[in-house]
Structure formats: C-alpha cells, structure tokens
Amino acid sequence: MKNRPSKPVEDYTTVNMILIFANMLWVFVALWSFWGLGVVLILAVLLNHLITRIDTVRRRRDSRFRGI
C-alpha cells in the first residue's frame, strides 16, 4: 500500500450552519402553525439547554485530558 500525503479537506462549517438554520426555521414555522408560539419557545429553550450541556461536558472532558 502506498503511503501518500493526505490532501487538505474543504471547510464546510459555514454551509452546514446555514443548512441547520434553514431546517430549524421550517420546523419552527411548522410547529408554530400547528400548535402555536408557546411550543416553539419551549423547544427553543430546550435546544439551548441541550447545546449548553453538550458544551459543558466537552469543556470538562477536554480539561480533564489536558491535565488542568
């Protein structure tokens, strides 16, 4: 097997963030049209809480591996 240097990969972070925004937008609009603004606000708070928890867990894990 030949040992070739790997090529740099394109950064798709911006494109993925735009797609996540577009998907969340249509889901929120659909929920709003079916059940109202209250459900959308509750879902938004829940997603914010989950993202914050994921960030906290990752920071705690990374600091544990860095020896801090």
CB 28 within 8 A of CB 44: yes
**67, pLDDT greater than 70:** no
CB 26 within 8 A of CB 35: no
The predicted-structure confidence for 30-48, as pLDDT tens digits, reads as follows: 999 999 999 999 999 999 9
Mean pLDDT calculated for residue range 58-68: 82
Rounded to whole angstroms, the Cα distance separating 65 from 68 reads: 8
Q: Domain coordinates of the chain in residue numbers? A: 36-68
- Which pTM does this prediction carry? 0.69
Predicted confidence at residue 34, as pLDDT, reads 96
What is the 8-class DSSP label of residue 12?
A: -
Per-residue CA distances from 41 to 3, 5, 23, 38, 64 (Å) = 52, 49, 16, 5, 35
